[in-house]
Structure 1
């Protein structure tokens, strides 16, 4: 017991230290699934040069590994990277749509060709490689007279990520350009922290041009503030765990990583937008038992663990589907499941409330009828009251498992990257242990909130039946316990609808 308490104290101190520590550098703070784009345009009187960079985070890079590693030796050599870039850059050039429209003239389409192509891998989270492809493009254009330049690049436009365009001139000036002349991310090498909440999403521009120098710029790309302290702390802890997984594995590191995985699983369960703790209100909608809470928690652990394993193995094997799209659709399915459960809970609460009202009417009828008619109404009263209780106690096994599946259906991206890194390092068992710890942490949070709500519900029921308290507060407590099941059901329903709608409206 003392050792367990001491270990827990160490983990809490370490987690608190992360809150105060300076944020560590991270290659892709927008997520390990992102594909990021940068285009630096340089305008000349007779041509447009473009430096196009495609920077893939850890998961997309892992998916491309079988395609790049042509000799299947498990590594990417400089020759293999060069060959991949040579095949990739023409696709980037073909996805560019650009025109120049002289004042008073018609639009002239531009056709870009590749002047050089290069690719390199850069260590990312958990020491997994990220892939950076740089393409130098050029296209002839008549910019010796005033006109309008349009530029757009649809290369893998469906992938979420940072999208940045800058425009500068040499012998050509821009007039009220909508984008700056210098990069804010050092060409996707360092993302500014104050923009992470509202990342750049510029994939097309239209800018007026004229001969000369001294460009002017209009409104730059949108800026935003950083995330809330709790979300930032969880993200920092994610990075710390990924560093542990990618480093040397010792018994101390292993124990610390497992403990941190537990804390991160709990932290992800209460992050804004996940809705897992709100789903725990399901257990308070009626007289849920501790066994019900444990059943939901166990189902969350199993579902989340299996989901991470399936997706992680698929990425490692080079599956071609977009990771963020998979998470999006899993989120939609999860929301629909929660909404369906909310509908069922609401229906049950309404039926229970109606039967309670009928039971009260039966009781009032008995009192008004007097002793001589008690026998005649005994059956109706007993049946009504008993039926009302039956409608308010317990859950179906299907509903409990459904809530657990909904709570664990969307795999944690950080758990996925940890598993992928562990598989790549040959630490399969260690990775699976960490994934299970993530699920247990999530389930512990969900179960704890469920048990707390069950306890609160029981306290309210006890208070409502206390004659002394009823005499002091009137029917307020009784009214609260009467509307709590309906309110809980509506909350669960709204959370489910919100999760599903958010997934449907996600623009990728």
Structure 2
């Protein structure tokens, strides 16, 4: 925004990524510009001294399709608007455009000729006109849709909060970077397929190390349920299959149903389902630990026998049991520790693996769409499977580490106490992770 003493100019920039651009390119340029411009003009609410003021385009909108990932394009639309006013003093702008879409939104202001402006929004543009983005824009987007300004006569000075660019220094992925670059090389025939598959595997493994992707809940689950190496490997296989299926399911939506539902609208629902599923699993594990704790307490409360003939025998290798005899005394055998229940089931293993792989990675979806557009579906499938295997391999390695570390704990000092407490702690961690996922998803579905 640029506020002068006789007008307010707004330069609006819309940048859409590869997936929505697939749908955009089905329209003619003129129709696309018309639709987007109407939504922009209708969604921007400018008020001066409390009264809404109309804005009108001052130039022909500028539409361009720029190179994105995996050979796909991105959409960039620039629209200049102007409202004619007289000596504005109290100015507000509300941005209601594309409110159903996830992404970054920001308002930047500068004073025009003959004005000095005090603004509620930072003056700096950390995105450089929507050319630089945070690395995880969907999970932590800048979302500034309202701003207010106090204007007085002046010489172009501006008073504003500190610029909010501290966490927006990462350049947006473009061609030649990340998992998408592997597909570009493969489609261009510039690499050996085996090496490209290994590269896709490596990107998947590295991607799993980024925040999220179920590392904490998988580790807590295997520790809390006394999972075995076989369970850890099974989790990896289930994550691979679920993630691959999820990518293709979302790809079908992007290619066939985008006029009715956008892929990005599905992500919050998938996150919600995953979160609720994890909460149920964690609650189930926690319930079994509580039952076991009560049973142990009840068994240990048998106490001394009421008959002088009663005797307590302690064994180190027999389970706790009670013999009831007709002659009126009780023999209690206790070995000083209690077996934790084997509650892990293949159904719960499947549920945990599915929840970890349920949310497809956007980069994998971009590769799928690029593969379809370039008639390289088989190649895209191979790379996505390799990527999913790499992602699952990291989770499997983590799971195996947890399994073997749990076995070593009893040998350490205080290890026995930790082993006893670990199931309950792990169950609480699983529930906490599930609640966090659910809380993150709720704003996107309500």
- What TM bracket, shorter-length normalisation? 0.7 to 0.9
| Pairing 1:117–2:61 present | yes
Query: Equivalent residue for 1:104?
Result: none
- 1:285–1:489 contact (8 Å) kept in structure 2: yes
Q: Secondary structure at the match of 1:504?
A: helix
List runs of 5+ in structure 2 lacking aligned partners: 315-320
Counterparts of residues 12-27 of structure 1 (less than 5 Å): none
Counterparts of residues 451-466 of structure 1 (less than 5 Å): 451-460=400-409, 463=411
Query: Equivalent residue for 2:202?
Result: 263
Q: Which of 375, 393, 403 lines up with 1:426 in the alignment?
A: 375
Deviation at 1:326, TM superposition (A): 1.8
Q: Distance in 1 between matches of 2:418 and 2:175?
A: 40
| Pairing 1:446–2:395 present | yes
- 2:302–2:332 contact (8 Å) kept in structure 1: no
Q: Which of 90, 99, 115 lines up with 2:38 in the alignment?
A: 90
Q: Distance in 1 between matches of 2:350 and 2:445?
A: 31
List runs of 5+ in structure 1 lacking aligned partners: 1-40, 69-79, 102-106, 464-468
Q: Which of 395, 402, 405 lines up with 2:354 in the alignment?
A: 405
Query: Equivalent residue for 1:303?
Result: 242
| Pairing 1:206–2:148 present | yes
- 1:148–1:206 contact (8 Å) kept in structure 2: yes
- 2:115–2:154 contact (8 Å) kept in structure 1: yes
C-alpha change, 1:88 and 1:199, in structure 2 (3 Å) is: closer
Q: Distance in 2 between matches of 1:87 and 1:233?
A: 29
Deviation at 1:56, TM superposition (A): 0.7
- 2:66–2:75 contact (8 Å) kept in structure 1: yes
C-alpha change, 1:347 and 1:457, in structure 2 (3 Å) is: same
Deviation at 1:55, TM superposition (A): 1.1
Counterparts of residues 94-493 of structure 1 (less than 5 Å): 94-101=42-49, 107-115=50-58, 116-143=60-87, 147-179=89-121, 183-191=125-133, 200-211=142-153, 213-225=155-167, 239-247=177-185, 248-250=187-189, 252-317=191-256, 319-320=258-259, 321-357=261-297, 368-369=311-312, 376=323, 389=339, 392-393=341-342, 395-460=344-409, 463=411, 476-493=414-431
Counterparts of residues 10-89 of structure 1 (less than 5 Å): 41-66=1-26, 68=27, 80-89=28-37
Q: Distance in 1 between matches of 2:100 and 2:173?
A: 25
- More helix by proportion, 1 or 2? 1
C-alpha change, 1:50 and 1:175, in structure 2 (3 Å) is: closer
Q: Secondary structure at the match of 1:208?
A: strand
Length-normalised TM-score, structure 1: 0.73
Q: Distance in 1 between matches of 2:35 and 2:138?
A: 32
Q: Distance in 2 between matches of 1:411 and 1:400?
A: 19
Q: Distance in 2 between matches of 1:58 and 1:400?
A: 35
Q: Distance in 2 between matches of 1:233 and 1:201?
A: 18
**Over residues 291-313 of structure 1, what are the superposed CA-to-partner deviations in whole Å (9 max), with x where a residue is unaligned?**
22222222111111111111122
Length-normalised TM-score, structure 2: 0.82
Q: Secondary structure at the match of 1:279?
A: helix
